[in-house]
Amino acid sequence: QKEVEQDPGPLSVPEGAIVSLNCTYSNSAFQYFMWYRQYSRKGPELLMYTYSSGNKEDGRFTAQVDKSSKYISLFIRDSQPSDSATYLCAMSARPGGGADGLTFGKGTHLIIQP
């Protein structure tokens, strides 16, 4: 079992829909959870960061972490065509770096249809 599992998609939804993106993980030591957005031929851009369990909201984006289920989600409300991108989850057991510092999922390719 991989440490972080993420459905690669593609996930295609109509404009205005609520999008749900998810990752599961196996390492119970993970405490720091991040969502990145990556447009084609660009580097990843940090969208949301959450420490431990709970919810965090920023505009149209909501991140949820359920450590008991080892499951994290990103919700996008009122989705726009400009949200079309690959969304990567990433997580870490500690805030600093190192080879075991940040583990990424494979990314979910999201398409918002106008």
Partner 1 sequence: EAGVAQSPRYKIIEKRQSVAFWCNPISGHATLYWYQQILGQGPKLLIQFQNNGVVDDSQLPKDRFSAERLKGVDSTLKIQPAKLEDSAVYLCASSLRGALYEQYFGPGTRLTVT
Minimum Å gap between C-beta 84 and partner 1 is 17
Strand boundaries in 67-107, DSSP class E: 71-76, 85-92, 103-104
Instruction: Report the residue number, 64 or 105, with the smaller CB distance to partner 1.
Output: 105
d(CA 109, CA 114): 16
Which residue number, 97 or 114, has a Cβ lying nearer to partner 1? Answer: 97
Q: Looking at beta carbons only, is 19 or 48 nearer to partner 1?
A: 48
Interface pick for partner 1 out of 43, 59, 68, 82 (rule CB under 8 A): 43
The whole-angstrom separation of Cα 90 and Cα 109 is 15
